[in-house]
Amino acid sequence: MTEEYKDQIHSNRRLWDALTKIHINSEFYDVEAFKNGACTIADLELNEMGDLEGKTLLHLQCHFGLDTMSFERLGARATGVDFSEIAIRRAREISDELGLSTRFVQSELYHLPEKLSEVYDIVYTSGGVLCWLPDIRGWANIVQQYLKPGGTFYIREFHPFASIFDDRDEVSSPTVHYPYFHNKPLRFDNEPSYADPSIPLEETSFEWVHTVGDIISAIADVGLRIEFMHEFPECTYQSLPFLIKGDNGLWYSPEYADSLPLMFSIRAEKPK
């Protein structure tokens, strides 16, 4: 299936090469704060993941590695993977500048076994990652392949249900606009970055929606034991125009605070 969408994946990689150049200097990512000691991992994730000290950790789709390096600072021995050559180059530069030992590997996710053979205590991925993958079962197989027996998989992701709503700036309340059930990717042309919408982009992107059932079934089908799935009415950034920022720094819908799931998390274990 990934070969079927090879051209779309290459287009997405060109997009993320361009996005990295924007994100590295954006207020959204605030690289200087990170260099000065800020941790970029959400408290929610740290609370749900458990002890990291001394654990080996593989971070899939790591972008330019701030979260990966945060795990290193928190005591893990971390490796980050991303398909963008520019993102991995910048991650290595920051890691070297800070004197960290974080390892970074440039690879398209489904081809990772060609470049990496180790297994890990933790496999982690988070925050806007699954929509870039055409084959959710192939993704789950990669996850289980890199876990040690008894190892932990953790994901905190934006809820696929929230992706059905119109996200144009002028929208003031939830309006269904995109499909939830579909097999072909959605195409977006000249979409600005979520980190800095003021900078125009010329790239084309392709995104896939995987339903909650798709995700849970893929994880279960590769033999991982799901410990929990949690759903949340809040989001770590303004993913939809009608969300407002709460006192806790998370974004939510004031009109549908009890009805609209915006994020979910899953922790699973590979049986010993």
> Residues near 204 by Cβ (< 8 Å), separated by ≥ 6?
11, 15, 187, 188, 189, 190
What pLDDT does 184 receive?
87
Mean pLDDT (10-residue bins), the chain, 272 residues: 86 97 95 97 95 97 98 98 98 98 98 97 97 97 98 98 93 93 89 87 94 98 98 95 95 95 98 94
β-strand partners of 157: 264
DSSP assignment of 148-163, as one string? EEEEEEEEEEE-GGGG
6-161+181-234 has which fold? Rossmann fold (3.40.50)
- Output b/e per residue, 108-126; b: 16+ Cβ within 10 A: bbbebeeebeeebbbbbbb
What pLDDT does 200 receive?
83
Task: Report how far apart the first and last C-alpha atoms of the chain are (Å, whole number).
Answer: 30
The tokens describing 63, both together, are 């972008």
What pLDDT does 1 receive?
58
What pLDDT does 2 receive?
73
Burial of 152: CB neighbours in 10 Å, binned 0-12, 13-18, 19+: buried
Dist. CA 129–CA 156, nearest whole Å: 10
Dist. CA 125–CA 165, nearest whole Å: 24
So where are the chain's domains?
A: 6-161+181-234
